Structure 1
Amino acid sequence: MWFFPDIKNILHFEGKNGPDGVKRKSPAVDEPWHFINPDDPNDTALLEMIDGHIGNLVASAANK
C-alpha cells in the first residue's frame, strides 16, 4: 500500500528542514556542489546524489 504524506508532513520538509535548509542555517558552509560540468564526463556527483535520494524515497514509501 502506498502512502502519500499529508500537508503537515509536506510542510515539515519546507524551509529550514528542506533541501535548501543548509543554505539558510549556515550560508556558504558545507553546501553541496549543485551543478554538472558538461565538459567533464566524470562529473556525476549530482546524478549519484539524485539516484540515492530516489532509492531512499522508494524504500521509505515501501515501508509505509
Structure 2
Amino acid sequence: MHGTVTLWRKADAGDGFDAETRVLSEDFLVRVAGALDRAWLFAQRIASAAIRNRLVWPAGYEW
C-alpha cells in the first residue's frame, strides 16, 4: 500500500491475510504533523512572553 502507514495488525488467521489492518493516509499524517508543529510554536511564543513579563519587567527593563 503506497501512501499509507499501517498502525497495527491482528494475528494472521492462517489464510495468509491479516484479520484486521488499520491504515492512515500519508496526507492525513502530514496534516497532523503540521498542526502539532503550529501548536508547539504557539506554546513557545506564550512561554517566551511569560518569561519576559515575569523576569524582565519587574527589574525595570522592557524588550
Q: Specify the TM-score bucket, using the shorter chain as the normaliser.
A: 0.3 to 0.5
TM-score using structure 2 length: 0.36
Relative contact order, higher structure (CA 8 A, sep 6+): 1
Q: Which has the larger radius of gyration?
A: 2
TM-score using structure 1 length: 0.36
**Which protein has the bigger strand share?**
2
